[in-house]
Amino acid sequence: MWTVPVIFMGWLLRVTVLHECIGTRVFEVLPSTTIGDVKQLIYEGTDFPVAEQQLFFNGKPVMTKRP
């Protein structure tokens, strides 16, 4: 499970990803960054496949919009 607290830091959002196997990762992203973008950042930093990621905010799943 990935836990994603989001904190507004001026023009950037700080997204903290907590995972029991890979530890804590912090990403600073623009407010326009999508969940898919965050998942791609996680993949680039960990090789954890996007399709296997589940993100949660305040204990609730965050859904990726599908076209």
Q: Which domain holds residue 35?
A: 2-62
Q: What is the pLDDT of residues 2-28, one digit of tens each?
A: 555 555 556 788 888 888 888 888 888
Sign, CA dihedral 53-21-43-5, equals positive
Q: What does the pLDDT read at residue 43?
A: 93
Where is 30: in which H helix or E strand? none
Q: What is the pLDDT of residues 26-45, one digit of tens each?
A: 888 888 888 999 999 999 98
Tally the domains of the chain.
1
User: pLDDT higher for 61 or 67?
Assistant: 61
Q: Is 55 inside a domain boundary?
A: yes
User: Which CATH number does the domain housing residue 7 bear?
Assistant: 3.10.20
Q: How confident is the model at residue 59 (pLDDT cuts 50, 70, 90)?
A: confident
Contact 27, 15 (CB under 8 A): yes
Helix (H, G, I), strand (E, B) or coil at 40: helix
Predicted TM-score (pTM) of the model is: 0.73
Q: Is 7 inside a domain boundary?
A: yes
